[in-house]
């Protein structure tokens, strides 16, 4: 195995692993108040545009990493739209501010 491919595999595992706690916490608590809709939308649009470049490259670790980012950002957006307003409404009903 060549060094650049090995480095790609290692970095893919590290980057994906660093995002897993965020996804697990969001899925478990359904509390996405610390995220903004504009950030999640821009992240998803950025991933879509960047896909044109990434998937023009030969298949390799970058495809896996980028696919992970696509799924992670899309899940966060879906969860934000589904659960994000629920926590805001609950906080407003209790007189809490976010």
> Is the pLDDT higher at 84 or at 8?
8
The upper half-sphere exposure of residue 1, i.e. CA atoms within 13 Å in the direction of its Cβ, equals: 10
Query: 3-state DSSP call for residue 57?
Result: coil
Report how far residue 83's alpha carbon sits from residue 38's, in angstroms, rounded to the nearest whole number: 16
What domains can be seen in the chain, in order of their start residue?
A: 3-93 (1.20.1280.290)
Q: What is the mean pLDDT of the chain?
A: 89
Query: 3-state DSSP call for residue 16?
Result: helix
Supply the pTM of this predicted model. Answer: 0.79
Query: 3-state DSSP call for residue 97?
Result: coil
For 34-48, write each residue's pLDDT tens digit: 899 999 999 999 999
């Amino acid at each position: 195995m060549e060094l650049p491919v090995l480095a790609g595999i290692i970095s893919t595992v590290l980057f994906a692993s660093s995002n897993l706690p965020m996804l697990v916490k969001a899925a478990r608590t359904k509390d996405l108040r610390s995220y903004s809709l504009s950030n999640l939308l821009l992240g998803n649009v950025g991933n879509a545009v960047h896909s044109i470049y990434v998937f023009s490259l030969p298949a390799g670790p970058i495809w896996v990493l980028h696919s992970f980012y696509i799924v992670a950002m899309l899940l966060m957006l879906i969860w934000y739209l589904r659960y994000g307003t629920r926590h805001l409404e609950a906080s407003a009903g209790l007189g809490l501010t976010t």
